[in-house]
């Protein structure tokens, strides 16, 4: 029974499930910390994601930083 429920949530409705979890997390952060602190947390998470993605794709991290912070 629970196997079928987990399959439905994680495979067939992945987008909806991720959206609900992210919405719940955002609501908890807004209530706990306020708008600007939550916005700062989200910016840090997105920045970390993009840096991690660059490293995972084996792209030259130094060249990427030079493009961001042009000398």
Give the list of residues 6+ apart from residue 29 with CB closer than 8 angstroms, or none. 37, 38, 41
* pLDDT interval class at 71 (50, 70, 90): low
Helix axes 35-56, 14-33, angle to 10 degrees: 140
Domain ranges for the chain, please list them.
1-33, 34-71
Residue-wise pLDDT for 3-25, tens only, equals: 888 877 778 877 888 888 889 99
Residue-wise pLDDT for 37-60, tens only, equals: 999 999 999 888 887 877 777 667
């Amino acid at each position: 029974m629970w196997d079928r429920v987990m399959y439905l949530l994680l495979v067939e409705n992945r987008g909806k499930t991720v959206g609900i979890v992210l919405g719940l997390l955002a609501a908890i952060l807004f209530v706990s910390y306020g708008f600007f602190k939550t916005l700062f947390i989200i910016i840090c998470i997105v920045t970390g994601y993009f840096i991690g993605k660059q490293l995972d794709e084996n792209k030259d991290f130094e060249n990427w930083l030079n493009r961001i912070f042009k000398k």
